[in-house]
Amino acid sequence: MNNWLRKTLFVLVSVLTFGLVTPTQLINTVNAENLADRDAFEAPSTESTFGQTNTFIEDSNFDKEKFIGELIKQAELQSYQKFGTRIKPVIENEFREIILPNIEKALEEVAVQFPEEDLKNLTISEQPGAGLSEKIFNVNNRLLGKDILRFHVRRDNPPQAGYWFNFHYHTYHDQFQSHHELGSIYWAKNTPPKWMS
């Protein structure tokens, strides 16, 4: 697609949907339809789209628990997308048992810090980092355009201990300096593949 046509399409989608659907989500949805043979976790879920989160915002009976549950689902999907088809089958069970409950706890702790009207504006970023990037997802305040939490996974290789995936997050309270541990998962002695591969 020509570059100017792509830019025009981005602007048109943003204007027509009042920002409820981002152009990136539209492209991801189109790509997911073209790649139907891949694992389901790579295709964006209609439940995890930005528009779905906005239904809580527009609902006069805001349900905090339902909203947090939706954030947790999105966090899980973003994590699986980051792991890719080569890492996910190896660490998925441990991730669900060890790391995901800690992510849930961190999201619940941050939710307590915000009044309901501010909580409605929290969203999860759309794209995890590929390759060697640590980023899994960010929780941000869409009105302010600022990150609140940043969830990362780092590859550790202690001497003679093999490779480990260290899951942690950073908060805006200290300008994302401190590591808040979520847990670690052992990979193997051999080097893990790149993220999203």
Residue 184 lies in a domain: yes
Question: What type of residue is 62?
Answer: F
Residue 58 lies in a domain: yes
Counted domains in the chain: 1
Residue 14 lies in a domain: no
Identify the three-state secondary structure at position 72: helix
Residue 78 lies in a domain: yes
Buried b / exposed e along 127-165 (16+ C-beta atoms within 10 A): ebbeeeebbbbbbbbeeeeeebbbbbbeeeeeeeeebbb
Residue 103 lies in a domain: yes
> What is the pLDDT at residue 194?
96
C-alpha 197/C-alpha 80 separation (Å) is 11
The domain containing residue 183 runs over which residues? 38-188
Residue 193 lies in a domain: no
Identify the three-state secondary structure at position 70: helix
Residue 28 lies in a domain: no
Question: What type of residue is 139?
Answer: V
187: which 2 tokens? Answer: 């990979």
> What is the pLDDT at residue 3?
54
Say if CB 22 and CB 14 are below 8 A apart. Answer: yes
Identify the three-state secondary structure at position 156: strand
Q: What secondary structure, in 3-state letters, does 1-32 show?
A: CCHHHHHHHHHHHHHHCCCCCCHHHHHHHHHH
- Sorted by sequence, the CB contacts under 8 Å of residue 186 that are 6+ apart come out as 162, 163, 164
Residue 124 lies in a domain: yes
> What is the pLDDT at residue 12?
56
Task: Give residue 80's region: left, alpha or beta (phi > 0; psi -120 to 50).
Answer: alpha
Give me the tens of pLDDT residue by residue for the chain, a chain 197 residues long. Answer: 555 556 565 555 555 555 555 544 545 444 444 433 333 333 333 333 333 333 344 445 678 888 889 999 999 999 999 999 999 999 999 999 999 999 999 999 988 888 888 888 889 987 899 999 999 999 999 888 899 999 999 999 999 999 999 999 999 999 999 999 999 999 999 999 999 99
> What is the pLDDT at residue 114?
83
